[in-house]
Chain A
Amino acid sequence: MASTTLTAPAPRGYDPAAAKPFLEQFDRVKDGLPGAGLSWLNELRSQGQARFAALGLPTVKNESWRYTNLRALDKLTFQPAAETGEAVRFDVLPTVRADGATGPRLVFVDGRFRAELSSTTGLPAGVELLNLADALTRKPDLVAEHLGRIAAPDDRTLVALNTAFLADGPVLHVPRGVTVDETIELVFVSVGSEAQPTAFHPRGLIVAEAESHAVIVEHHVGLGSCTTLSNGVTEVFVGEGASVHHYKVQREHAESFHLSHTAAKVAGKGVYDNFILTIGAKLSRNEVNSVLDGEEGDTHVSGAYMVRGGQHVDTTTFIDHAKPCCTSREVYKGVIDDQARAVFQGKIIVRPDAQKTDGYQQNRALLLSDTAEIDAKPELEIYADDVKCSHGATVGELDDDQLFYLRARGIDKAEARGLLIGAFLSEALEEIAEESVRDAFQSYVADWQNVR
């Protein structure tokens, strides 16, 4: 284990002191974590622990965290999620399915799997959908082969933190050539505790073997108003010619912190589509990394966000064109009201080998108030010569002429604004290929508007 003496010089852009409360907890809980008997897993967790101990939390001096300040986390001491004694009751769990329809679904409450709310109905033979804690006993080889391979703990400090504490989360394995017709839903509920702020570190693993297809929707919601920190990591392996459509909607409550890192690796002719709709949380950051690791791969990394009040939303993407003839497309649109703040950092790298790359990135924000703010940082690093790459960023306000035109036809100001905001976001939502998902996300957008 690495030493954590306070005299060691702090690397620039990190605050190792912030690691302390988490490390103390780690020492307390590590022996009780699932799979604690597996030596490779203990090794992985120790690597995470050591890395996090050395770095701590990032500060705004860190180039990648310039616009998102995690100091608020410092002021709170998060405890690991306690085993909820009496089962938390739910009237309705979020779904993109039609009323009354059922399908494959895993539910996690404060990071822990809830079997009685979950189901694997509708999955074709051979498809594995289970929680990580179980997978460590039932499918240890599958997990050992993939876990920590794309999102390595030496990579980023929050990934390291997640790796140290990793305990539970969704695991999906789709065998070669299998198409999962039913949308797989992953529901994450943040509840927390009245007693103290609660942290959990969900860890997901999605493995789609060659020529397989799956559609996954993650719902992140909050219940109550206790302070919670969700620090999730998901690794996605997309095999040759496979396709994974990975959608996520985050509607946590106003006292929650939502940090998430999704890392995908796409083999030749594979397709990885990611779309994230952010509505909730006090502070959220979604990092999405997609590596195009084989020829003719394709990745769409898009999203929409709507924030108001004092919310902060950070979208940080990294598209790595490692091999020739791949395409990538990013469309992000966001609406920012009140004093809310948005950050968009989009990096595309085209490696020397990646000729015939086609990359597109667009990031547009609509500011609804004078105090709303966006910081955008697109970055293109191109080392190949035969590439087509474009990016664009715009920041605007609602158009007065359009507003007047609508009002002159009898539509009141609030509804006219709503129509224009909806129209603005719809361009991003159209990136969602599945109609049922698109419609559900569209309705979350409408709900957000109706709250005003």
Chain B
Amino acid sequence: MIEIKNLHATVDGKEILKGIDLTINPGEVHAIMGPNGSGKSTLSYVLAGRDGYEITEGSVSFFGKDLLEMEPEERAAAGLFLAFQYPVEIPGVANTTFLKSALNAIRKQRGEPELDAMQFLKLVREKTKALNMTDEMLKRAVNVGFSGGEKKRNETLQMAVLQPKFAILDETDSGLDIDALKIVAEGVNALRSPERSMLVITHYQRLLDYIVPDHVHVLAFGKIQRSGGKELALELEKNGYAEFGVNEAA
């Protein structure tokens, strides 16, 4: 599904990603853990197509296509979704308007018919309910005045509506209370299927109790330092990142 090879990226001349190799097959869930500032969000932004990164080496192929050549909206239409670590507030644009524009834009790019207002409302109501969100949150401006946890739930709602083939969840668990964590995890698990893959970025092994990964990777200093099964997360929880040369006290 996605094949990342020797990916190097710099920001303002500073190298952040220093040779990432990662292959994710259909149906797999991979988790990335790693210390603050190790490049996890940078990797997710580079994959989603944000401006400001220079790719100095390497390649990413997504369903056989050169992902790095595509515009962000083309990546979304091809099935890539990034749940932002810091969802962006957009005053003046209602959440429903945003969701509907997004869904129909993607359907249009895929050559599928757009949904009318009724069809859309039915779909979004159903997803909202499943995530324990209120209709009131749909009417509000995108993420404006949402609590930290509500923003993360809103990201999950977008994912549930857009039904991506490959989702990157960048710390979607941070800021969620215990009940919300379960609800969001259920939402994510509901999307799991043999055709869908996920890349879950988290600092806490607890999320991985709910969303059980097939593979866990440790990202430090811009590189994947170690990969293993789900037991690697437990080990990291116990020992931290000291063995990768990271000074925990710093």
A interface with B by C-beta (< 8 Å):
400-402, 404-413, 415, 419-420, 422-424, 426-427
Q: Could you show 29 A-B contacts with beta carbons less than 8 Å apart?
A: A401-B88, A402-B90, A404-B50, A404-B51, A404-B88, A405-B84, A407-B49, A407-B71, A407-B72, A407-B76, A408-B73, A408-B76, A408-B82, A408-B84, A409-B102, A409-B105, A409-B106, A409-B158, A410-B73, A410-B103, A410-B105, A410-B109, A412-B71, A415-B105, A420-B92, A420-B93, A423-B91, A423-B93, A424-B92
- Inter-subunit contact B73/A413 (CB<8 Å): yes
Among A401, A404, A415, A419, max chain B CB count under 10 A is at: A404
Contact of A412 among B49, B73, B82, B92 (CB under 8 A): B73
In contact, B88 and A411 (Cβ under 8 angstroms): no
Which A-chain residue is minimally distant from B142 (CB atoms)?
A405
Task: Verify if B101 is at the interface (C-beta below 8 Å from A).
Answer: yes
Residues of B170-195 at the interface with A, using a CB-CB cut-off of 8 Å, are none
Per a CB cutoff under 8 Å, which of B90, B103, B106 touches A420?
A: B90
Instruction: Provide the residues of chain B in CB contact with A422, threshold 8 Å.
Output: 92-93
Q: A409-B158, A410-B77, A410-B105 are in contact. Are A423 and B49 (CB under 8 A)?
A: no
Q: Which residue of A lies closest to B48 (CB)?
A: A408
Sample of 15 more A-B contacts, CB < 8 Å, known A405-B84, A413-B73, A423-B93: A404-B72, A407-B71, A407-B72, A408-B82, A409-B102, A410-B102, A410-B103, A411-B73, A411-B105, A412-B105, A419-B98, A419-B101, A422-B93, A427-B91, A427-B92
- On whether the beta carbons of A408 and B71 are closer than 8 Å, the reply is no
Chain B residues within an 8 Å CB radius of A413: 71, 73
Nearest B-chain residue to A404, judged by Cβ:
B50
Residues of B within 8 A of A424 (CB): 92
Interface majority SS on A: helix, strand, loop or mixed?
helix
Cα–Cα, bound, A249→B100 (Å): 30
Residue in contact with A409 in the complex, picked from B50, B51, B71, B162, CB distance below 8 Å: B162
A265 to B51 Cα, complex, angstroms: 53
State in angstroms the CA–CA spacing of A427 and B92 once bound together: 7
Whole-angstrom distance between the Cβ of B178 and the nearest chain A Cβ: 28
Size category, B interface? 20 to 34
Interface residues of B in 30-64 (CB under 8 A from A): 48-51
User: Which chain A residues lie closer than 8 Å to B84 at the CB level?
Assistant: 405, 408
B-side interface residues toward A, CB under 8 Å?
Answer: 48-51, 71-73, 75-77, 82, 84, 87-88, 90-93, 97-98, 101-103, 105-106, 109, 141-142, 158, 162
Given contacts A400-B51, A411-B73, A427-B92, contact A405 B87 (CB under 8 A): yes
* Residues of B with C-beta under 8 A to A410: 73, 76-77, 102-103, 105-106, 109, 162
Chain A, Cβ-Cβ closest to B45 = A404
B101 lies within 8 A of A423 (CB): no
Complex CA gap A262/B103 in Å reads: 46
A404–B88 Cα gap in the complex (Å)?
9
| Beta-carbon nearest neighbor of A425 in chain B | B92
State the Cβ distance, B12 to closest chain A Cβ, in Å.
15
Report the nearest B residue to A421, measured CB to CB.
Answer: B92
Contacts of B88 in A (CB 8 A): 401-402, 404-405
Residues of chain A contacted by B91 (CB below 8 angstroms): 423, 427
Give the distance to chain A from B50, nearest Cβ to Cβ, in Å.
5
Whether A415 contacts B51 by the Cβ 8 Å rule is no
In the complex the two chains form, is B98's CB within 8 Å of A406's CB? yes
Question: Which single residue of chain B is at the shortest CB-CB distance from A401?
Answer: B88
* Whole-angstrom CA separation of A427 from B93 in the bound complex: 11
Assembly CA distance A423 to B93 (angstroms)? 6
Complex-state Cα separation, A411 to B75, whole angstroms: 11
Interchain CA distance A278-B158 in the complex, whole Å: 36
**Which residue of chain A lies nearest to B86 when distances are taken between CB atoms in the complex?**
A401
- Contact indicator A408/B90 (Cβ below 8 Å): no
Please report the C-alpha to C-alpha distance between residue A401 and residue B45 in the assembled complex, in whole angstroms. 11
- Please determine whether A406 and B106 come into contact, CB atoms closer than 8 angstroms: no
